[in-house]
Amino acid sequence: MYEVTMRRAHAGDAAPMAAVHVAAWHETYTGLVPARMLAAFSVGERARRWRRILTSPEPSRQSAVLVAALPDGTIVGFGSCGRQPAPDLLAAGFAGEFSALYLLAAHQRRGIGRRLMGLMAEDLLARGMRSAALWVLRENTPALRFYEALGGKIVSERVETVDEHLTGPQDDGMLHEVAYGWPDLALLAPR
C-alpha cells in the first residue's frame, strides 16, 4: 500500500518543500516557460521564501500550507491556500485561492493531489470561504485535466509578462494562464 501522510507544514519543512517546488517546476514547465526562467528558479531562493511564509504568514492572506510526506518523512508534494488576492476573481465570487499545488512526477496519479486539494478546500471552508479559484498555465494540459476532473471550471484568463532578463530571443515574454474556479468547495472537500 502507498502511504502518504498529510500535515500542516512548519518552518523546518522550508528546504525540502523548496526542493520539491524546484524539481516539480522543472518536471512540469520545461518547454512551457522560458529556459532562463526555469534556470533562475533556485532551491535557495524558494527555501527563503517558504521559510518566511511558514514563520510569519501574511495575515491578510490567512495562508495554510500542507505537505504530503512518505512514512520516512520525505516530502513529495505540498499545497497552499488562502484568501483570494485577485480582485477580478474576488469580484466573481471566489473568496479563496489555491495558491500552490506541487507534486513530484514519481508520486502523481496516486490520489495525493486530489487529497491535498480536498484538505485545502476543507481548510478554506472552515475559515468561512465557500468558494475558491486558482491560476494555471494554459499549456499545462495534465493540470487542466486534473482540475477539470475535480469539477473546476474555467472562470477567467490572463496574460502575464515575464521579466525581460528571464527570456531569450525565441520567447515572446508572455505566459498565458486560465483560472479554474469552484463555486462550492463542499463538493471538493473530503466526505
**Residue-by-residue pLDDT tens, the chain, 191 positions:** 579 999 999 999 999 999 999 999 999 999 888 888 888 889 999 999 999 999 886 665 678 999 999 999 999 999 999 999 999 999 999 999 999 999 999 999 999 999 999 999 999 999 999 999 999 999 999 999 999 999 999 999 999 886 544 444 455 577 899 999 999 999 998 87
Q: Which helix (H) or strand (E) holds 101?
A: strand 96-103
Integer Cα distance of 74 and 18 in angstroms: 13
pTM, 2 dp: 0.90
Domain boundaries, the chain: 5-187
CATH architecture, domain 5-187: 3-Layer(aba) Sandwich (3.40)
Q: Which residues, 6+ apart, have CB-to-CB distance to 100 below 8 Å?
A: 21, 78, 79, 80
Integer Cα distance of 115 and 107 in angstroms: 13
CB 151 within 8 A of CB 187: yes
Angle at 164 between CA 160 and CA 165, to 5 degrees: 125
